[in-house]
Structure 1
Amino acid sequence: MFENGIIRADPMSHKPVELWKRYLKQGRVVEPVKTLRLNTPIYENKVRFVCISDTHEKMGQLLDSIPDGDVLIHAGDFTEGGDIGEVIKFNAEIGTLPHKYKFVVPGNHELGFEDGEIMSDQQVAGLNMLGVRKAYEMLNNCEYIVDRTVEVYGLKIYGSPWHPMQGYSFYRSRGSALLQKWNNIPSKVDVLVTHTPPLGHGDYNAWNKMDGILAGCAELLNTVEYRVKPKFHVFGHIHDRYGATTNGATTFINASSCDHKMNIAHPPIIFDIPLPYGHSKTPVETASVGSGSTASCSPSEEDSD
């Protein structure tokens, strides 16, 4: 719901199927979109984004099919259960990719990654042995983003892991609890990355019937359509709804790499955004860093990849 410039929790948020039917009657738009071929040339006047998600500890099987680009985005569930060995393996694998910038948002399967979350004794013992507090501290071949903005080439990317699937890391209930998280998203964002889909776009779940078949979040949809209005919204979580849709203003991309059987089944999805005026891909820019607002890999961090 959108009133007087403010997004409010919809009273029907906990009934996503009924709510989506109502939204469609009100004129909400969802149309399929063709995506670029993976061999599309990379242009100097455009920033090439390469999107993947839900690799579930099988990133190695996907490496050979990931095309080059300027920015790699992983929208969550890169492990199967947050195991330390899985994190180390993923970090090594993503480190072999040539992309100048690599941004990773965690998903519900990154157990133990949420700050303040109670971890198992095995996780705590393993982290203590390695001298780190959280497993995400071992991700030094990519930029880990949770509720913050990164800026590259003059384009702003915001990442957020929250979802309405109870019993997992980064869970918040539908309605006001999730809306509080989406309220942190700045209005001027070019690319939004979440783990969960918005209601009605790439969120139909035919397998384990999460929340009555539609798994997307109404408050996220309303935040995207009424306030943030990004050029692209990248997510995953619902494996068999891989692909792209649009509402006429934003392109929604479900970049899930695995199918519902946890097998790598879908190739990456790519898109381009024209370089903003005054920005160039050569030489490499030093990205701006701000507390709670914008941050990004510096050239020295990239060299460590």
Structure 2
Amino acid sequence: MSAPSSTPPRPTRRTRIVCIGDTHNGTVKLPKGDVLIHAGDLTNQGSYSELSKAVQWLEKADFEAKIVIAGNHDITLDGDFYSRHGSSFHNQNPQDPAKCLSLFTSSRTITYLQQSSATIRLTHPEGPGTEFTVFGSPYSPEYGTCAFTYPRPEQEAEASEPDSTAVAAGPSAAELWAAVPLTTDIVVTHTPAYTHCDDTYGCKDLRTRLAAVRPRLHVCGHVHQSRGAERVRWDTGGLSAGDQAATEISVEPWEDPSPDPTSAKISLVDLTARGRKRALDFYDPGPAPPGVQTGCEPADPAPGPESSDIVVGSGDPSGRDGDPCPGQPDHPVDRAGRRETCVVNCAIVASGWPHPGGKRFNKPIVVDIDLPVWR
């Protein structure tokens, strides 16, 4: 057993993350924030024209960091898929997948993730000065002829039968989600995990991987009717190093008190110490050394129900608190101490095809979260 580190815990500061997904060629008024996350399906059919308009809109958005993944409708960004099925979508006007992808990879303001990770460090002198690691993936379980899909478990089993003519194309779900690093702070996927902000379309293997990684935040979309948020608490007793999956203790759903998309009030999920009397305790660092504060309780805690750890309100429009909070756990921390994940499905289009009664739309979901200060 290694000796405890003498390095003092790093301070944290509130960071505002605006979450959107499934915009499908639309734009939406974006609240102020530090980080913008788009969880895929920027377009309907992934043409260069559609993607170009989406990129122009995102590049104009005033955020210090903008994290974007693709979805199953952004078909030209999946080169392998487009080489096989592109003519079914763009028969009269074939698109150039490399040119479409370059819209994102050449952007100076967008961090495009395609089954990959990044460390985001906010450096603007007027920003919160925080950092986090993020993994992004565009994949979702197979549903019709769409990009970035993988076989569902029953399809894999069928394809493995000796007399089967079925073909399980591409990587398996388990292989895809094994790529999520265990130290990831924020996971962004197009698909939800099974039963978490989901309507039975989500992925069971992703749910298993989230139980092992236990990120602070999981942002997804894809299932329009399941827009919302919930916090998943984990039983980490007896877990040690490695990729062991924790057991879920409880799931607490979040209710948006102002879902009207025309309302000026933001849909806020407050995961900071300021949003409650004590911090949410995503991490359980164990007993604190003498003289070290383990909770970050403000002098004037924001009013709100003591029984809820997800608080909804308009919040400070600046998106930050000011001075960092001392005494929070160091970063990264022992995964065995991660006790909670907040799941956010941020689909903007609220209805599914063929949109009975017409398209309906949701507001962005805003997440305030305490992240470690890197300075």
**Fold shared by both chains (TM-score > 0.5):** yes
SS for the counterpart of 2:206 is helix
Encode CA deviations 1:85-106: one digit per residue, 9 max, x unaligned. 1011111111221001111110
Structure 1: runs of 5+ lacking an equivalent: 1-43, 205-213, 281-305
For 1:181, the aligned partner's letter is L
Residue matched to 1:252? 343
Pairing partner for 1:199 from 194, 212, 230: 194
How far 1:253 moved relative to its partner?
Answer: 0.4
Inter-CA distance 68–160: structure 2 relative to 1 (3 Å threshold): same
How far 1:75 moved relative to its partner?
Answer: 0.2
- Of stretches 255-264 and 216-225 in structure 1, the one that deviates more from structure 2 is 255-264
For 2:137, the aligned partner's letter is S
SS for the counterpart of 2:102 is helix
Residue matched to 1:81? 45
**Correspondence 1:163 to 2:259:** no
**Correspondence 1:274 to 2:370:** yes
**Residue pair 1:55, 1:264 contacting (<8 A) in 2 also:** no
Larger Rg: 2
Residue matched to 1:231? 216
Residue pairs, 1:212-223, within 5 angstroms: 214-223=200-209
Residue matched to 1:98? 62
How far 1:186 moved relative to its partner?
Answer: 0.2
Inter-CA distance 98–71: structure 2 relative to 1 (3 Å threshold): same
SS for the counterpart of 1:266 is coil
Residue matched to 1:144? 112
Encode CA deviations 1:196-217: one digit per residue, 9 max, x unaligned. 000111111xxxxxxxxx1011
SS for the counterpart of 1:199 is coil
For 2:175, the aligned partner's letter is Q
How far 1:264 moved relative to its partner?
Answer: 5.2
For 1:159, the aligned partner's letter is G
How far 1:54 moved relative to its partner?
Answer: 0.2
**Residue pair 1:203, 1:216 contacting (<8 A) in 2 also:** yes
Percent identity among equivalent residues? 29
Residue matched to 2:150? 172
Pairing partner for 1:68 from 5, 26, 32: 32
SS for the counterpart of 1:181 is helix
How far 1:125 moved relative to its partner?
Answer: 6.4
Residue matched to 2:26? 58
**Correspondence 1:47 to 2:15:** yes
Structure 2: runs of 5+ lacking an equivalent: 1-11, 122-130, 157-171, 234-339
Encode CA deviations 1:262-301: one digit per residue, 9 max, x unaligned. 7351111111232315x14xxxxxxxxxxxxxxxxxxxxx
For 1:244, the aligned partner's letter is A
For 2:221 and 2:82, locate their aligned partners in 1 and report how far apart those are by CA, in whole Å: 25
Encode CA deviations 1:222-247: one digit per residue, 9 max, x unaligned. 1001x110001000001111110121
CA RMSD of aligned residues (A): 2.1
Encode CA deviations 1:101-154: one digit per residue, 9 max, x unaligned. 1111100001121132234355896655xxx72412112252211111111233
For 2:360 and 2:198, locate their aligned partners in 1 and report how far apart those are by CA, in whole Å: 19
Taking structure 1 as the reference length, the TM-score comes to 0.67
SS for the counterpart of 2:181 is coil
How far 1:47 moved relative to its partner?
Answer: 1.7
**Residue pair 1:112, 1:118 contacting (<8 A) in 2 also:** yes
For 1:202, the aligned partner's letter is C
Inter-CA distance 55–264: structure 2 relative to 1 (3 Å threshold): farther
SS for the counterpart of 2:208 is helix
The number of residues matched between the two structures is 219
**Correspondence 1:187 to 2:182:** yes
